[in-house]
């Protein structure tokens, strides 16, 4: 059923807020957790564990979210194809609220690890369901590209707010719980908005749950089997896999850089502490600009062409990072990295929806495709720190960033195929209309 303009606006608003809070919670823990773990592992001012063990605990805790989300994405994608996006989006936001409360009251490593892991499940629900909702509600390509870019921009805004929010509240109030309670309160606001704006009537929820339970008890009929084969055929399409690959390769540049850059700066440039805390602001601003302003341009100039230019920019900037001699010189390549990654996301995410529209399935199934897209992001952020630490130790930071830049430049060779697939899709759409 076609949504009215006000209903579409309400959907974008609740998805935007859910994405924003999800990414605030993702980053608000970063300045808090290391210091908090240091304090609870200390007795009389002496740390019980050596500092290498402390770093390992922090790294394991922070990466647990990406690992859980990586495995949860496919399950959420196929679930959404059967019950719709509304209920998973609501449940994901409710879980975000609960995770925030656990973070607020956790007083040992086990509960912090549990909260961070469950956050991966909440993020999977919000991210996949939110993108599916936008894709289903905005069928016109130009409008869909614009709205998807806007929603993706909320992720960058959440990251920009999360780091300083966690640091300032933790420092001023000397309480770990303060920023998490704020996120929990805003999550309640988001839940109330979703209950008022989304199609979450008791009858529709009962129908969705009963259909799912019936499928689980009786198995799938011939129509379901045909639909399953259509989904698998869609996921095996070269254009969809190339789109997911571009997201994986471009995002890997930032995923490798995040854990390695601060240490490299301390060894070479030796910045002040406040400078060290601001080095990732340019890439967040670049991502925000790339997602907000290039969705509509991608529709005008071509998704494949713009993605190629963006990945070329990521590759060049990855090379330039290690040539910076001051924090100020680092600003330009870091901004370029964020801008390039943002443009890749703003082009590939709506393009994947277009390929779904022309799939062999009788009904467009966006869940599995956006599970694949989110899986690419999670894979980058899970293996990025591992590859980064091993690469720095074996070949050094400059060579490592050169290899990441080369990977992005080499992948540009495949992107013209997306441009041809895009042209074919537009032609088919004209014939169908």
Per-residue pLDDT reduced to its tens digit, 107-161: 888 899 999 999 999 999 999 999 999 988 888 878 888 888 889 889 889 988 8
* C-alpha pair distances (Å), 68 with each of 1, 33, 125: 34, 19, 12
pLDDT attached to residue 213: 67
> In this structure, are residues 346 and 149 in contact, taking their beta carbons and an 8 Å threshold?
yes
Specify the pLDDT at position 42.
Answer: 61
Burial of 149-184, coded b for 16+ CB within 10 Å and e otherwise, reads bbbbbbbbbbbbbbbebbbebbeeeeebbbbbbbbb
Residue 228 has pLDDT above 60, yes or no: no
pLDDT value for 217:
62
| Spatial distance between the Cα atoms of 106 and 383, rounded to a whole number of angstroms | 27
In this structure, the dihedral spanned by the alpha carbons of residues 33, 35, 36 and 37, taken in order and rounded to 10 degrees, is 80
Does the pLDDT value for residue 219 go beyond 60? Answer: no
Which of 382, 392, 389, 14 lies closest to 195 in space, CA to CA? 14
The answer, yes or no, to whether residue 92 has pLDDT greater than 80, is yes
What letter does residue 220 receive in the DSSP assignment?
-
Of 95 and 238, which is predicted with more confidence? 95
For the chain, what percent of residues have pLDDT higher than 90?
A: 32
pLDDT of residue 427: 47
Percentage of residues of the chain with pLDDT beyond 70: 80
Average pLDDT score over residue span 68-94 = 88
Using 50, 70 and 90 to split pLDDT, how confident is the model at 275?
low
What average pLDDT score do residues 70-98 get? 89
Mean pLDDT of the chain: 82
DSSP-assigned letter for residue 322: T
Q: Which residue has the higher pLDDT, 168 or 251?
A: 251
Count of other CB atoms within 10 angstroms of residue 30: 17
As a whole number, mean pLDDT of residues 198-204 equals 66
Residue 136 confidence (pLDDT): 87
**What's the pTM?**
0.83
Judged against a pLDDT cut of 90, whether residue 60 lies above it is answered with: no
């Amino acid at each position: 059923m076609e949504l009215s303009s006000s209903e579409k606006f309400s959907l974008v608003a609740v998805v935007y807020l859910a994405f924003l809070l999800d990414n605030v919670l993702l980053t608000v823990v970063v300045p808090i957790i290391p210091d908090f773990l240091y304090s609870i592992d200390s007795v009389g001012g002496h740390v019980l564990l050596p500092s290498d063990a402390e770093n390992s605990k922090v790294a394991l805790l922070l990466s647990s979210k990406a690992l859980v989300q990586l495995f949860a994405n496919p399950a959420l994608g196929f679930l959404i194809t059967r019950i719709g996006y509304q209920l998973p989006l609501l449940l994901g936001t409710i879980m975000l609220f609960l995770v925030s409360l656990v973070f607020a009251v956790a007083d040992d490593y086990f509960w912090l690890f549990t909260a961070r892991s469950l956050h991966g499940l909440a993020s999977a629900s919000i991210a996949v369901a939110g993108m599916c909702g936008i894709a289903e509600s905005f069928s016109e390509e130009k409008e869909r590209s614009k709205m998807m870019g806007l929603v993706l921009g909320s992720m960058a805004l959440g990251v920009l707010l999360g780091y300083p929010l966690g640091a300032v509240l933790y420092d001023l109030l000397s309480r770990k719980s303060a920023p998490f309670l704020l996120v929990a309160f805003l999550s309640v606001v988001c839940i109330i908005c979703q209950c008022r704006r989304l199609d979450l009537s008791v009858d529709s929820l009962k129908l969705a749950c009963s259909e799912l339970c019936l499928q689980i008890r009786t198995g799938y009929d011939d129509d379901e089997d045909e639909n399953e084969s259509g989904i698998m055929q869609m996921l095996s399409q070269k254009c969809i896999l190339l789109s997911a690959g571009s997201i994986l390769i471009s995002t890997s540049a930032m995923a490798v850089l995040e854990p390695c850059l601060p240490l490299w700066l301390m060894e070479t440039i030796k910045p002040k502490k406040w400078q060290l805390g601001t080095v990732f602001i340019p890439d967040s601003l670049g991502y925000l600009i790339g997602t907000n302003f290039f969705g509509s341009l991608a529709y005008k100039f071509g998704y494949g062409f713009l993605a190629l230019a963006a990945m070329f920019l990521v590759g060049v900037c990855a090379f330039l990072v290690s040539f910076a001699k001051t924090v100020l010189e680092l600003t330009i390549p870091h901004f370029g990295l964020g801008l390039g990654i943002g443009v890749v996301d703003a082009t590939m995410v709506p393009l994947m929806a277009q390929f779904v529209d022309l799939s062999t399935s009788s009904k467009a199934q966006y869940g599995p495709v956006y599970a694949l897209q989110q899986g690419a992001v999670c894979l980058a952020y899970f293996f990025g720190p591992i590859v980064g630490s091993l690469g720095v130790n074996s070949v050094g930071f400059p060579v490592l960033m050169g290899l990441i830049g080369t990977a992005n430049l080499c992948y540009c060779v495949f992107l013209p195929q997306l441009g041809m697939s895009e042209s074919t899709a537009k032609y088919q759409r004209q014939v169908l209309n």
